[in-house]
Amino acid sequence: MTQNPTGPEAARIEPWLREILRCPQCHSELVDGTGPTGPELHCTDAACARAYRVDDGIPVLLVDESRSLAS
């Protein structure tokens, strides 16, 4: 019987991929975060401050679909 992971396990990104992912807007490092719809990757550059959602473990690194973390 195959289990379909949900929650944090569903959003897990392979370590080798995490090492090379960068913000498409400013090219800064991305870190794990949580947003209103679930897991996200957050840009570490305070001036950029973008959040990119993660759908079924796949990061959606499209600037047009990201959201601002600035308040």
- Tell me the domain boundaries of the chain: 12-68
Residue type, 21: L
Residue 24 zone, left/alpha/beta (φ > 0; ψ -120 to 50; rest): alpha
Residues in the chain predicted with pLDDT less than 50, given as ranges, are 1-10
pLDDT at residue number 45: 96
pTM comes to 0.79
Please give the pLDDT value at position 14.
Answer: 81
Q: Could you tell me how far CA 68 lies from the centroid of its own chain?
A: 13
